[in-house]
Amino acid sequence: MNIESIRNYCLSLPLADEYFPFDETTLAFRVEGKIFAMIDLENTEWFVLKCNPEYAIELRERYPEIAGAWHMNKKHWNQINTFGSLSDELIKSLIRHSYAEVVKKLPRKIIAAHSELLSVVNPLG
């Protein structure tokens, strides 16, 4: 999955937007002000996603393209190699997981005001 596809998919999620929080090359994707994905536009080989700690370990053990994120809390963040052999569907599911991890921690008031957030957090209804 290339950087443009990753960007488009992240922005397709409800209430997602993008910004440059640290410098002019680190692009972050957020929902309600909370980051769920980041990529360095000067090195698009890797991008970073939030992850449930137990699932993060499982993914790292299973896929050589997934590691603890450099410069991030490795308990909660993975880096994904975009040049590896991960399927687009797996990458999309990891992006959705990251997004859901962030949405789950949003205040109930925000979630109640934006029911479309629940379609990603709990896709079965």
pLDDT at 112: 87
Q: Where are the domains of the chain?
A: 3-121
CA atoms within 13 A on the CB side of 107: 5
Q: How high is the pLDDT of residue 23?
A: 95
Give the pLDDT confidence score for residue 57 in this predicted structure.
95
C-alpha distances (whole Å) from 95 to each of 4, 82, 110 are 14, 13, 21
CATH of 3-121, one of 3.40.50.2300, 3.30.430.20, 3.40.50.2000, 3.90.1150.30: 3.90.1150.30
DSSP at 25: S
pLDDT of residue 124: 42
pLDDT tens per residue across all 125 residues of the chain: 899 999 999 999 999 999 999 999 999 999 999 999 999 999 999 999 999 999 999 999 999 999 999 878 788 999 999 998 999 999 999 999 999 999 999 998 998 898 888 777 665 44
Cα 10-46-70 angle, rounded to 5 deg: 110
